[in-house]
Amino acid sequence: MGAKIVAGYPEPEILDIKNQELSGTLTLYSRPSIAQCWLVPALGDFTRRYPSISLTVLTGNDNVNLQRAGIDLAIYFDDAPSAQLTHHFLMDEEILPVCSPEYAQRHALTNTVINLCHCTLLHDRQAWSNDSGTDEWHSWAQHYAVNLPTSSGIGFDRSDLAVIAAMNHIGVAMGRKRLVQKRLASGELVAPFAI
């Protein structure tokens, strides 16, 4: 199950950037989870490639007025970006249940989706704009025709906190594949269902 993450910015500002030498300041706004799990780990490469750019990274869960807030570039999850912004596709988003290997073993989750009914679901309460707080799990359960009590569990205001809780054997989080792939590869997390 997937969606899109797009980067948005006002059109005149991007034209100014294209016509200038790559130096100066750049203020970027992102969701905290994207910043922590994807953007910040990539900053080393950015600073090597563009040493004359002074970068400021701001995070939050609100859709802000970029111009009013002095933001040059924003990274948002959005299937229908604003017509007032120039936007470019950045990456697909795929969500999947993740937990610690210990939790998966303790609850016999490996390829046994029905056992999720006996688990603590970890929710990102602000996963999407206008999210009810349980939409990720509800959408996933509907997509795979799984009957889950999606309204129960523990809620967080950031997906990375739900993932950290999952790593600490507290429950099963809905992980964004791009943001958890290193933790899956290292074995800190597992995706127990081959769906």
CATH class of the domain at 2-92: alpha beta
Q: Do the first three CATH levels of 2-92 and 94-186 match, i.e. the same topology? A: yes
CATH class of the domain at 94-186: alpha beta
Q: Which pTM was predicted?
A: 0.70
Residue 148, both tokens: 């889950």
Amino acid at 177: K
Q: How far apart are CA 189 and CA 165, in angstroms?
A: 11
Condensed to tens digits (0 to 9), the pLDDT of residues 76-126 reads 776 666 777 777 777 777 889 999 999 999 999 988 888 999 999 999 877
- Mode of pairing for the β-strands spanning 86-98 and 172-176: antiparallel
Instruction: Determine how many CB atoms are found less than 10 A away from the CB of residue 60.
Output: 13
Amino acid at 124: D
* 140 neighbors 106 (Cβ within 8 angstroms): no
User: Which sequence spans correspond to the domains of the chain?
Assistant: 2-92, 94-186
| Residues sharing a CB contact under 8 Å with residue 111, sequence separation 6 or more, in sequence order | 192, 193, 194
Condensed to tens digits (0 to 9), the pLDDT of residues 15-42 reads 555 545 578 899 999 888 788 878 888 8
For 23, list phi and psi in degrees, rounded to 5: -150, 170
Strand, helix or coil for residue 79: coil
